[in-house]
Amino acid sequence: MTTWVIGDLHGCCHEFDELLEAIDFVPGRDHLWITGDLVNRGPQSLETLRRVYELREHASVVLGNHDLHLLAVAFGHGRLKPSDTLMDILEAPDRETLLEWLRRQPLMVESLIHQCVMTHAGLPPQWSLERARQYAREGEEMLSSRQFLEFLPHMYGNEPARFEPALRGNDRLRAIINVFTRMRFIDEHGTLDFSAKEGLDSAPEGFSPWFCFERGDTSRLIFGHWAALEGRAPGAQANVRSLDGGCVWGGVLMAMNLETDQVVTVAAKART
């Protein structure tokens, strides 16, 4: 079995299908990892979500910030933005099935065989893998629980900007989810900056990309989320890999073979 890791899809279903063909993906023989943000911004959010759902037994998906935005809007605790492309999902006859499956997806996927971890935005150097597993489970348990609807109004916010083990309740869960799904620049203490979203030269004073800080473990770490990096992570340790090629912005959709590190890309299709 070959495991392929694919970067953020963002509703680019045509490119997703083309990439699956390019890597000769065979369900039952091969397995997919997807770095999250299945939906939004691109033109085929519903088709993409349905396609991944069809492959669900053969795919491991982590939640991204746009996936969480869809859930918040769908369950009445968020507002559509002018740039959103989620209405087709919200009006779909199978929306309940798709959304219930989506909210039960993890924040972190790990393979001990490949010594590899995947999250949407990354992992801060202050977290060991053991701690990251614990925090991921806390967030996942809430998002898949009966208390999900009660938590949604409290999921958004930039405070606290730094996760502390002493945090409790909604503040703790919000900080955990922000790290897994929104992190880009941090300071040496692990404080997140939420204002800068462009390339590395947009770093606020005192902040650096999270992947430029040395980690204590040697597991490979794969992330998406940061389209401006175009699938690169300059200054990162050798075991860190960015796979968001910015397909929805005219870049490429990327896949990496976990066994060989081979990278396959397909170019974004022209938008009309």
pLDDT tens for 174-211 read: 999 999 999 999 999 999 999 998 999 999 999 999 99
Q: What is the pTM of this model?
A: 0.97
Instruction: Tell me what percent of the residues of the chain surpass a pLDDT of 70.
Output: 99
Q: What is the pLDDT of residue 202?
A: 93
Is the pLDDT at 272 greater than 80? The verdict is no
The overall longest dimension of the chain from CA atoms, in Å, is 50
Q: Dihedral of the CA atoms 104, 108, 112, 116 (nearest 10)?
A: 140
Angle between helix 13-22 and 45-54 (nearest 10): 40
Least confident of 128-142, 207-221, 252-266: 207-221
Cβ atoms < 10 Å from Cβ of 177: 24
How far is Cα 169 from Cα 175, in angstroms, rounded to an integer? 10
42-86 pLDDT per residue, tens: 999 999 999 999 999 999 999 999 999 999 999 999 899 999 999
How far is Cα 261 from Cα 249, in angstroms, rounded to an integer? 25
Q: Average of pLDDT values for 148-163?
A: 96
Q: Residue 154 is inside which H or E element, if any?
A: none
